[in-house]
């Protein structure tokens, strides 16, 4: 379970918060909770919230995050929730300099959540609302059954991005009362306004008036289509017109509300992360770092191969894979040097040495023949 900060981390929090406010950042009260890596993976699988409705995809997300951390492919340093108060999670295994960096990063996010225009319409009590959503759906599970509920949620989640992302800021559909008045005013076709009555027949001939009346009739017929105009918010269209059961209506409305809460985070992802990264870099490099933190804050990074190269070779650029590749490469290089440089040189030197021979494949030794002894020219042959 999440725990409060240690006295040392609480002191660091006050210090970093003072630096952030000193730079003019404005944010809600920020609550930091200390968690293990496994607890952080569980919260991250829930989208950053401690409680969500029952569904199989949360377990799938947790497995993916856990495997990524165990294999060294990914690590979650911080997790912050757009809420009032703002909640953030710290991994207890992080070093002290990492905790300070994460705190500074979180305050950048918190300032962005509070002041950016895209987040003005979001629910600032979403942690409580998510818990209420989970309770409501669990009640429907008790009545309807988990399989039927999960099957409907699967279908609804396939449409969760079909919402009108700009509907909180603009009005697409006209006011019904004003549209009705405009429709009544357009029913009468009088043609162009004329200053003299005797000119009306010349300015607005009968053929022209008939053509305008046909256009008005066609426009009215077009407006009778269903829907009258394209709808961006498909989930709202289904809520208003689809023949849904009460439990289906409740669940679909719940998922639509959550989709609109998460929408600004997708719209502002680059700007949000850039804002938080700028402020954590500014705070750490100007005030947050001590002399003991310099080395840990600026380590020599391992080289990271491009993603396409990693996918092509099958090697992910972690410390373990880089060390393994370095060892294998050194073995190949040393083996090549021995086979193509050292061994031929030894063979040549041994063959050039006098009184030595070479061993044939059978195993016999070929030695140099002994020189023939000269026979004296005037020696007498022995007599019998």
Q: How far apart are CA 80 and CA 109, in angstroms?
A: 8
Q: What is the token pair recorded at 28?
A: 């809600």
Mean pLDDT of the chain: 81
Query: Which pLDDT does position 229 carry in this prediction?
Result: 76
- What are the domain boundaries of the chain? 7-116+268-297, 174-228, 300-354
Query: CB under 8 Å, gap of 24 or more: what pairs does 64-72 form?
Result: 65/41, 66/38, 66/41, 69/37, 69/41, 71/318, 72/318, 72/319, 72/320
pTM of the full structure: 0.66
pLDDT exceeds cutoff 80 at 307: no
pLDDT in tens, 360-378: 444 444 555 555 555 555 5
Pick the more confident residue, 2 or 42: 42
Query: Which pLDDT does position 21 carry in this prediction?
Result: 94
**Which of the residue ranges 195-209, 217-231, 293-307 has the most confident prediction, judged by mean pLDDT?**
217-231
Nearest in space to 107 (alpha carbons), one of 80, 129, 67: 80
Question: Do the beta carbons of residue 43 and residue 50 sit within 8 Å?
Answer: yes
Q: Where are the beta strands (DSSP E) in the chain?
A: 30-35, 78-81, 86-91, 358-359, 365-366
Nearest in space to 281 (alpha carbons), one of 297, 302, 299: 297
pLDDT exceeds cutoff 60 at 241: yes
Contacts of 258 (CB under 8 A, 6+ apart): 130, 133, 160
Give the pLDDT mean for 331-344. Answer: 91
pLDDT in tens, 1-12: 567 888 899 999
- Strands 30-35, 86-91: parallel, antiparallel or unpaired by DSSP? parallel
pLDDT in tens, 46-88: 988 989 999 999 999 999 999 888 887 888 888 999 999 999 9
pLDDT in tens, 244-293: 999 999 999 999 999 999 999 999 999 999 999 999 999 988 888 877 77
Q: How far is the CA of 143 from the CAs of 80, 84, 244, in angstroms?
A: 35, 34, 16
């Amino acid at each position: 379970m999440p725990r409060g900060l240690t006295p040392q981390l609480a002191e660091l929090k006050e210090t970093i918060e003072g630096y952030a406010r000193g730079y003019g950042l404005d944010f809600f009260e920020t609550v930091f909770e200390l968690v293990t890596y496994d607890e952080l993976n569980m919260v991250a699988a829930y989208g950053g919230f401690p409680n969500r409705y029952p569904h199989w995809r949360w377990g799938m997300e947790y497995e993916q995050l856990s495997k990524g951390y165990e294999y060294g492919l990914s690590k979650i340093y911080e997790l912050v929730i757009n809420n009032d108060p703002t909640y953030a999670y710290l991994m207890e295994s992080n070093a002290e300099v990492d905790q300070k960096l994460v705190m500074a990063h979180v305050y950048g996010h918190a300032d962005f959540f509070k002041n950016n225009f895209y987040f003005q319409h979001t629910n600032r009590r979403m942690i409580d609302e998510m818990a209420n959503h989970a309770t409501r759906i669990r009640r429907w599970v008790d009545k309807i059954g988990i399989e039927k509920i999960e099957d409907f949620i699967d279908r609804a989640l396939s449409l969760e991005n079909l919402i009108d992302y700009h509907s909180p800021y603009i009005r697409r559909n006209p006011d019904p009362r004003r549209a009705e008045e405009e429709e009544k005013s357009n029913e009468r076709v009088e043609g162009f306004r004329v200053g003299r009555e005797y000119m009306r027949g010349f300015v607005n001939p009968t053929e022209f008036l008939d053509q305008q009346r046909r256009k008005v009739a066609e426009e009215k017929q077009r407006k009778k289509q269903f829907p009258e105009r394209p709808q961006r918010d498909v989930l709202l269209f289904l809520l208003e017109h689809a023949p849904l059961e009460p439990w289906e209506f409740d669940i679909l409305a719940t998922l639509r509300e959550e989709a609109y809460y998460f929408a600004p985070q997708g719209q502002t992802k680059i700007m949000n992360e850039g804002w938080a990264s700028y402020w954590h870099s500014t705070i750490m490099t100007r005030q947050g770092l001590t002399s003991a933190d310099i080395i840990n804050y600026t380590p020599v990074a391992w080289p990271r191969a491009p993603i396409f190269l990693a996918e092509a070779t099958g090697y992910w650029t972690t410390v373990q894979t880089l060390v393994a590749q370095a060892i294998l490469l050194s073995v190949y290089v040393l083996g090549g040097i021995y086979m193509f440089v050292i061994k031929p040189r030894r063979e040549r030197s041994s063959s050039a040495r006098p009184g030595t021979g070479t061993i044939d494949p059978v195993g016999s030794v070929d030695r140099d023949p002994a020189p023939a002894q000269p026979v004296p020219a005037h020696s007498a042959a022995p007599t019998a």
